[in-house]
Structures are given as structure tokens and as C-alpha cells.
Amino acid sequence: MKKLLLITLILLQALSATKAQETESTAKVFYRFGSTQLRGTYMDNDAQLQQLTRSLTNTDIDWSRYRITITSSSSPEGRENINSKMSEQRAQSLADYLVEKGLVSREHIIINSHRVDWSELRTLLKESPLNSEATPYVEYLDSVISRINAGEDIKDHEVVDGLRKVYNGWKFPYIRRHLFPLLRYAKATLEPIDGTTVPLRPKEEVVLPPVTIPETVLPDTVAPVPTVPSDTVAVTPVVPTVPSDTVAVTPVVPTVPSDTVAVTPVVPAEPTVPAEPAVSPAQPTAPTVPVETVIAPFALKTNLLYDAILIPNIGVEWGFANHWSAAANWMYTWLSNDAKHRYWRIYGGDLELRYWLGSDEARPLKGHHFGAYGGMLTYDIEFGGKGYQAHKWSYHFGLSYGYSMPIARRLNLDFNIGIGYLGGEYYEYEPYYDGYHWLATKQRRWFGPTKAEVSLVWLLFNKKKK
């Protein structure tokens, strides 16, 4: 019975050591939404990186038998091609960190990125506080994973739509807020190349050579010890205390005849090397997801080109998703001089949907952007001669390209041009005595530039609050 108990304890100890070694040789870091920048201050990234650094630095690794495997993932909010690119760049950022720190050379790193790690989401659901309420989600993801393994290409938004339908969407906000952020990760693991576990040995410590204490030879007789005068204070030498973890060496003193005074030789204490304090590796803890209140980027703007030709205008732009924004613009002017037959009357507006290539969390609504727009306007324009008046409303639509550059902390200058179609019915007329003479009714069919902007943009909100 004792033998069986001893064997069990040895196996448990070996299993615990193996598990600890696997934990110390792994680092899992997380990324903010829409970001591929590795930040040590986000979640517990700093502790994870320090743990892996200690493991790789203090371990003697045979790189002919080991490698670093980096897996990564993104959350499923965006499009498939964007999610794949984000996941690859997150894995690459972790690889660059390990190489720049001199922990491993690049040829010993293998990258395996997932567009979205649905298996990880299934595990997170099983471990979540939803308990039994997570079962329908887990079963749904099991079917999704089986279909993907069978070679079926399932779009990310299709899986998200399926998650929304469970419980009529009541529990989905919890998944989106608390579990989706944990899918934006990159994980580095030290593992054997051939799959067989090779024991890792700590690097050899420097062993100091033993200190030899010279043997003290006592003479046969000892000279009388002089008497200390009564007015002299005898000073007792202080013998250094030997630390408790140091073995004190007591020399063997030969027996001295009774008619002689025994003198105890002073034996120099053996120099000791202070032991290095034990450094306990940081125990991995479950990352705490910071609760973030998202304040979407919002801006006011005005088109300086329209302002220059006396068409006051105002616009708003709202960043509602990663790299996406919506803009609405309105213009109005109603100037006239009947005596001189001058009319400058224009009002209308347009809506535009934009996709941003270079925007980020730190500075939204910045960089190159493409868009699609459409709008309506009416007008009455005359400068002393022939005039043009829209019959009710004219319409226009098209595609746009632009570039927005920062010029101050909360100010951007946005250049934008649109190519599209302008259509609608209008009247041609000319002044005639105290009135106007109608000339013709025509249809406007114009294909070309229908939009031009040099807008001053004022960023009102562009941060996230934790």
C-alpha cells in the first residue's frame, strides 16, 4: 500500500511539473478592437510577456528540437478579408517582439493564424457564467466547426447571425461585450518539433570553488598570558555569527597540558556566497476584460469651397464601425436682387457612406477614404441675363475618393471629389420688362464631377472611456 501511494505521489508531482513548464513556456496576449499593435498595458499582456521571457532566458533550449508556434485570431465583427489580415498581423507583431528581444531567431517561429477561432469561443462559452444557458451556443458552434472541418466556407457574419438567434438574441450582448474581446489574441507556445516531449533543463549555475581553511599548528608550550591591570578594560573580540544556512567548521584543538594555558586559535570564518532570492514565476491568471464605454467618432464640418462662393453649409460625420463612417451635409443660400435680376438660390443636401483605409483608434477619420453618395437639391440662378431654375428637385449620385489629414489636435482638412450622375428637369428663362420670359423646359443629364469638397472637420468625440 505504501509503495502504491509513493508511486502515485511521484506521478502527480511529475504531472504538476510538466503542467507548470507548459504554462511558463506560453504567452497569450490580447489586442484592442481594430488594432494590431502589441500593448503591454492592455489586459495582462505585460505579465504574460515577462513570464515567457523568463522561461526562454533561464532555460537551456535545444533549438534543433524545439520551436515557437504562434496562433492568432480576430473577432467576427468585420469582413472576412479584414479579419484574416488582422489575425496575421497580430501574430506577426508577437513574432517581431520575440525576435527583437533576442529570445528566438525568426527561423524557429511558425505562425498559424485563424480568421476567427470558433473553437476558442466555444471554450470561453463553456467557462462563462452563463452556465447551462451556454449549452445552445456550444451546440451551435459544434455544428459550425464540424462544417468548417468538412471544407465548407462559412462566412463570419453568418455565424454571428446564428448566435443572435439563440434565445432571440437576449444573451448575445454579453457574448459580444465580454467574449469577443478574448478572440482578438496571439499566443506563443514553446513546443517540440517532432511532438515528443524533450525535458527542458535550467541553465547551469556558476559553482564557486571550495574555500580551504589552513590548519593551525599549536606550539608545545605557550608563553604566560600577561596580567591585565585592574584599571584596564579587557576587550572581548566579537566573533562573527555564522548564518543559519552555513555549516560552521569547528577545528579540532589538541589537548593542552594542565600546567599550560590553552589558547583557542582564531579560525577565519568561511566566506559564504549569499543565496539568490528565489524568483517565483508569475502565475497565469484569467485576463480581466476592461469594461469599455465606446464613444464613436463624431465630427462637425463645413465645405470651404461652398463657403467661398456664398453657400453656407454644415455637415456631420459619425464613425459607426471599424473603418466605416456616415456623413450628412446640408447647404442653403437665398440671395436675390430683383432690380438687377440677380438670383443666387440653392439649397439641398446629400448622404455619403465612407470606408477608411488609414483610420485608427488614436486618430479616427484620418487618411484615404472611398465612398458612395447621393443627394437632392433645387436652384434658381441668374446674373442679369439668361436664368436657370430647377423644376422641383434635381438628384445626383456617384462614387467618391478623398484624403483627410490632421492639421491640429481636433481639426482635420478633408479633400474629397465625386464622379457621378446629375439629373432633373429645369427651366431656361430671361428677364422681360418687369417679369420673366420662359424660353424652354429641358432635362439635365450630366455624367462627370458632381461633388467637390475641401472641408474643415472638427472632431468632437474620438476616444474610448474605460
As a whole number of angstroms, the distance between CA 309 and CA 333 comes to: 10
pTM of the model: 0.44
Average pLDDT, the chain: 78
* Contact criterion met (CB below 8 Å) for 311 and 331: yes
pLDDT value, residue 294: 47
Range in 67-81, 190-204, 266-280, 452-466 with the lowest mean pLDDT = 266-280
> Residue 171: its pLDDT value, please?
81
Q: What would the mean pLDDT of 399-423 be, rounded to a whole number?
A: 94
Residue 32 or 226, more confident: 32
Over residues 157-171, the mean pLDDT reads 84
Rounded to the nearest angstrom, the gap between the alpha carbon of residue 263 and the centroid of all alpha carbons in its chain is: 74
**What mean pLDDT comes out for the span 130-144?**
90
339 vs 6 pLDDT, higher one: 339
Q: Using 50, 70 and 90 to split pLDDT, how confident is the model at 16?
A: very low
Question: How large is the average pLDDT for residues 335-352?
Answer: 86
Beta bridge partners of 378: 347
Cell of residue 143, nine digits: 455544428
**Residue 302: per-residue pLDDT:** 96
Contacts of 38 (CB under 8 A, 6+ apart): 29, 31, 45, 90, 93, 94, 97, 186
Q: What is the pLDDT of residue 77?
A: 82
Estimate to the nearest angstrom the gap between the alpha carbon of 26 and the chain centroid: 18
* Residue with cell string 478623398: 402
Q: How far apart are CA 145 and CA 132, in angstroms?
A: 20
What's residue 11's pLDDT?
46
Predicted confidence at residue 166, as pLDDT, reads 87
What is the pLDDT, as a whole number, of residue 55?
A: 85
Asked whether 98 and 241 are in contact (CB, 8 A), the reply is: no
pLDDT at 373: 97
Tell me, what's the pLDDT at 263? 46
Banded pLDDT at 432 (limits 50, 70, 90): low
Q: What value does the mean pLDDT take over residues 228-232? A: 47
pLDDT per residue as tens digits for the range 174-201: 898 899 999 999 999 988 887 666 555 6
Task: List the grid coordinates of 149.
Answer: 472541418
Mean pLDDT, residues 77-104:
90
Q: Per mean pLDDT, which range of 1-10, 46-55, 325-334, 353-362 is the poorest?
A: 1-10
The predicted structure's pLDDT at residue 333: 93
Look at residue 133 in the predicted model and tell me its pLDDT. 86
**HSE (side-chain half, CA atoms, 13 Å) at 171:** 17
User: Three-class SS of residue 37?
Assistant: coil
Nearest-angstrom CA–CA distance, 192 and 67:
6
289-318 average pLDDT score: 83
Of the candidate ranges 60-69, 255-264, 434-443, the one whose mean pLDDT is the lowest = 255-264
Q: What are the φ and ψ backbone dihedral angles of 200, each rounded to 5 degrees?
A: -95, 135
d(CA 325, CA 331): 20
Lowest pLDDT segment from 156-165, 186-195, 282-291, 438-447: 282-291
Lowest average pLDDT, out of 52-56, 86-90, 115-119, goes to: 52-56
Higher pLDDT, 106 or 214: 106
DSSP letter, residue 303: E
pLDDT of 149 reads 92
Residue 314 confidence (pLDDT): 96
